[in-house]
């Protein structure tokens, strides 16, 4: 049966309306399209939501995390422990500063979060930082990583790219590690198209990140607007252009105002999926440990080990029924840049081979989520009868 395009299910989609378009237009009309008041206000709102002193807007997660590693002086000869089961950017930033990403395995369950015990086993005298990921929005066991970092004298950086609005025992992600880095890419719960944010309580680090994102300039254009024309900025060290624009920040402010609604709507869709998946013979549901609240940035499931069907066949079966599923999180260590030194990561490989993601965004209607569940059932039910 073909689906009318008007009611086609999108796999992911930003939760925009006229308010974002108006905010972007207002920033353009104001003339302050970069380094202006919108960025300052966005950063203050983001910091408040995360319960930290500083939020520093960047052009992406990648430039933000790179700049953090650069500020920490991490470089050639150093190692950074990262999960492999993540978007490859997590490993790439270590390479960008000349360091080595050292891959740790994930827990052998459907949290798909990096296992602190395995990460501990990867620490050597060259390790400088731990960069665990909040997988698809689900907070990782940051307290275990904090303890590891303290024991070994390492810096802990939370890859919170996907996790704005998630909580760990009531505490917002962004405040749980000394440094956290978020992405505002279009797939994230709150988006500015591209963009990133670093959060921290470290005043000196925040001040340096703000300078270095702006070519090392001592004061931004907005800060210098009332200074005399002859007031020249200074450039105490070599910087970069990693600025977030005011047009992005204006969109971001509207998005931050919707964060609670966005997360609530995602949670309602997740609950429908979870209700269907309970005790499913072919599919395993995502596990959310006690005390964790995820923002459901993505909804990942797995085809059970003993299922009489592979993951790709389930994805294709859903596509044939008008449901756009995708394969799950990648394993970075299997890609060309890292393949030659790939360690044994059995849980990561199993997840990368068996996980898939269902449509998840706040615009999914009740009838659409019903269609997703019905399609899952149509694809898997015959297998159960055949298998049994
Ligand atoms: C876990 C994780 N880390 C890092 C990134 C990179 O973010 P950005 O595209 O903003 O650089 C992403 C983006 O998908 C991600 O999911």
CA 340 to chain CA mean position, Å: 27
62 lines ligand 1 (CB under 6 A): yes
Choosing among 3.30.750.24, 3.40.640.10, 3.90.1150.10, 3.40.50.970, the CATH entry for 18-258 is 3.40.640.10
Q: What is the DSSP letter of 186?
A: T
Q: Which atom of ligand 1 is nearest to the CA of 194?
A: 10
Q: Which atom of ligand 1 is nearest to the CA of 60?
A: 10
The pLDDT assigned to 221 comes to 64
Question: Residue 95: helix, strand or coil by DSSP?
Answer: helix
C-alpha span between 229 and 271 (Å, rounded): 58
What's the CATH fold of domain 260-387? 3.90.1150
Containing H/E element for 80? strand 79-83
Q: What is the DSSP letter of 201?
A: S
The answer to whether residue 325 scores a pLDDT higher than 80 is yes
The pLDDT assigned to 122 comes to 97
Beta-strand ranges (E) seen in 112-164 are 127-130, 155-159
The answer to whether residue 229 scores a pLDDT higher than 70 is no
Q: What is the DSSP letter of 122?
A: T
Strand partners, 54: 200
**How far away, in angstroms, is 88 Cα from ligand 1 center?**
8
**How far away, in angstroms, is 133 Cα from ligand 1 center?**
10
Tens digit of each residue's pLDDT (9 = 90 or more) over 286-320: 999 999 999 999 999 999 999 999 999 999 999 99
Domain ranges of the chain: 18-258, 260-387
**How far away, in angstroms, is 159 Cα from ligand 1 center?**
8
* HSE toward the beta carbon, residue 379, CA cutoff 13 A: 27
**Catalytic residue list:** 188
Tens digit of each residue's pLDDT (9 = 90 or more) over 156-212: 999 999 999 999 999 999 999 999 999 999 999 999 999 999 999 999 999 999 999
162 lines ligand 1 (CB under 6 A): yes
């Amino acid at each position: 049966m073909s689906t009318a395009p008007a009611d086609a299910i999108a796999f992911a989609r930003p939760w925009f309306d006229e308010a974002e378009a108006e905010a972007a237009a207002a920033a353009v009309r104001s003339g302050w399209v970069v380094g202006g008041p919108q960025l300052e206000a966005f950063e203050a709102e983001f910091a408040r939501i995360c319960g930290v002193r500083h939020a520093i807007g960047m052009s992406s997660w990648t430039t933000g995390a790179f700049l953090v590693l650069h500020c920490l002086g991490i470089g050639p000869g150093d190692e950074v422990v990262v999960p492999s089961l993540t978007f490859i950017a997590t490993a790439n930033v270590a390479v960008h500063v000349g360091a080595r990403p050292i891959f740790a395995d994930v827990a052998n369950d459907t949290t798909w979060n990096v296992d602190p015990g395995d990460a501990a086993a990867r620490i050597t005298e060259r390790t400088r930082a731990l960069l665990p990921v909040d997988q698809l929005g689900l907070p990782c066991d940051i307290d275990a990583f904090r303890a590891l970092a303290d024991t070994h004298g390492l810096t802990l950086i939370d890859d919170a790219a996907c996790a704005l609005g998630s909580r760990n025992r009531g505490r917002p992600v962004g405040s749980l590690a000394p440094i956290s880095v978020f992405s505002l890419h279009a797939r994230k719960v709150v988006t500015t198209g591209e963009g990133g944010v670093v959060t921290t309580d470290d005043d000196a680090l925040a001040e340096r990140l703000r300078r270095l994102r702006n070519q090392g300039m001592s004061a931004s254009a907005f800060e210098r607007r009332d200074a005399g024309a002859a007031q020249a900025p200074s450039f105490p060290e070599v910087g970069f252009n990693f600025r977030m624009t005011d047009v992005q920040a204006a969109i971001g402010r509207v998005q931050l105002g919707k964060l609670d609604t966005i997360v609530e709507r995602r949670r309602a869709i997740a609950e429908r999926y979870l209700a269907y998946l309970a005790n499913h013979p072919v599919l395993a549901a995502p596990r959310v440990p006690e005390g964790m609240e995820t923002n459901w940035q993505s909804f990942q499931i797995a085809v059970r080990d003993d299922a009489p069907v592979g993951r790709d066949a389930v994805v294709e079966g859903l596509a044939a029924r008008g449901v756009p599923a995708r394969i799950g999180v990648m394993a970075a260590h299997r890609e060309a840049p890292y393949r030659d030194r790939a360690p044994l990561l059995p849980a990561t490989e199993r997840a990368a081979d068996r996980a898939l993601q269902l449509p998840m965004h706040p615009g999914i209607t009740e009838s659409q989520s019903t269609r997703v569940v019905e399609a899952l059932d149509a694809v898997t039910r015959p297998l159960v009868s055949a298998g049994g």
